[in-house]
Structure formats: structure tokens, C-alpha cells
Amino acid sequence: MVDMAPSSSGVPNAAFGIGKGSLPWPIATFMSTLPLAPLEIAGNQVLRTALDCRPGMFSRLDVYSGKLFAIDPVDCPFVFLLEPRVENPSLRVRTSLDGVSWDARISAVMLVLLGLLDGTYDGDALFFTRDLVIEGDTAAVLALRNAIEDAELDPGLLLGAPNLAAPIVSGSIRRAANVMRRLLGAPTSAQVPVGTFP
């Protein structure tokens, strides 16, 4: 485990607005006034839905399923702490990583992290262009990335849309996300070609 203080990473948690595709600072400021509990509840609901649809998702992590991942949307006033245990995984939300001993940290702007979750982005290409920063246990990060890649986590699926409606929901969300990425200047060239997903 790595004792983490945000100041030691070079990607400070409080550095909202860094990176291509950052959410506008008024949004980040507004989010900082909101309680974290609803976000944590929603995050856990998404996690449960994903595991209901893809029960074997975290088994691909093998020995790394017990690691603690700090997933850090650098343009948002919170971080996610994921423990992808095969049995009883957990997702917590914190305002910072102060005092948290994580095994691996994955940092990028929120739109990029969401794009990695649903396979819109290629992680290696984002790493080459420095739009994605990883620290700590590199093997654990790779295992998580590969597990998520294989799970094919469509947005519609994650939001619990019924089977028939899921592709429509996914398509709408992806189109909206692409518009936001374009407007905010997020990396576009590491994305899957338009039309690959429904």
C-alpha cells in the first residue's frame, strides 16, 4: 500500500480544471457544495447493476481484486475508492485522498474516465498523450482496465435500462457525451470510431 498525500502526486486532487475536457469551473464549484452520500449511493447502484449483468467482471482481476483503486476525476471535487472484490465489492466517495492508503491511482478528467468505462477511449493512447495518469500498482491498473474492457459496460446497461431500450439509451448518452467532449476540448482522437457502438 502507498501512503498517499495529494501533494506528493503531482496531480493534486484540488487542481480542478486541469486537463483537456475539464468540466467548467462553475460546475466543479457547484458540485463541491453538494453532499457526497447521494453520489456514493448512486455509484454503488451502478456497480451492483453492472455486476448483475456481468457477474464475472471482477474475476478477471484475479489476485488484484483485493486492491484499493483511487479513481480520481481531477476536474471534480471528489474521488472514488473502488475495491473490486469478487464477493462484496465496494465503492466509496471522498472529497480527497488525504490519509487514504491506496494501491493504485487512476487520474483523468471525468469525461475521459467515463469514456474509459464504456470503451469509448483507448487507455494506452490516453496514456501516451498524458491525458491519463496512473500511479502505484501498474499491474493492478492493467487488470482493472482489461476487466472493464471485456465487460462491455454500455451506459444503458449501467443505468439499468430494460434490455430492449438499453441500446437506445446507450446511443443517446454516447452522442451527448461526444458533444460535451467536443465542446470542452476533450481528447477525441483516441476514441472509438463513430458508428462502432449503437
Partner 1 sequence: MELVCPAGTPSALRTAVDAGADAVYCGFRDETNARNFPGLNFTPQELAQGVAYAHDRGAKVLVAINTFARAGGTNLWHRAVAQAIEARADALILADLGLLAWASRAYPAQRLHLSVQAAAATPPAIRFYAERYGIKRVVLPRVLTVNEIAGIVAEIPCEAEVFAFGGLCVMTEGRCLLSSYATGESPNMNGVCSPAAHVDYRQEGTTLAARLGGFTIDRYSAGQPAAYPTLCKGTFMVDGKANHIFEEPTSLNVLEILPALKAAGVSALKIEGRQRGKAYLAAVVRQFRSALDALEAGRTLPASTLGALTEGGRETTGAYKKTWR
Which residues of this chain interact with partner 1, rule CB under 8 A?
A: 9-11, 60-62, 64, 119-125, 127-130, 133-135, 137-147, 149-152, 187, 189-193, 196
From the CB of 170, what's the least distance to partner 1, in Å?
14
From the CB of 78, what's the least distance to partner 1, in Å?
20
- CB closer to partner 1 out of 46 and 57: 57
- CB closer to partner 1 out of 60 and 80: 60
Instruction: Compute and round to an integer the Cα radius of gyration of the chain.
Output: 16
Q: Which three cell numbers stand for residue 97?
A: 485522498
Residues 124, 12: contact at Cβ < 8 Å?
no
Q: Is 152 left (phi over 0), alpha (psi -120 to 50) or beta?
A: left
From the CB of 30, what's the least distance to partner 1, in Å?
28
- Run of H or E including 142: helix 138-151
- CB closer to partner 1 out of 94 and 145: 145
Residues 171, 198: contact at Cβ < 8 Å?
yes
- CB closer to partner 1 out of 19 and 43: 19
From the CB of 74, what's the least distance to partner 1, in Å?
12
End-to-end CA distance of the chain: 40
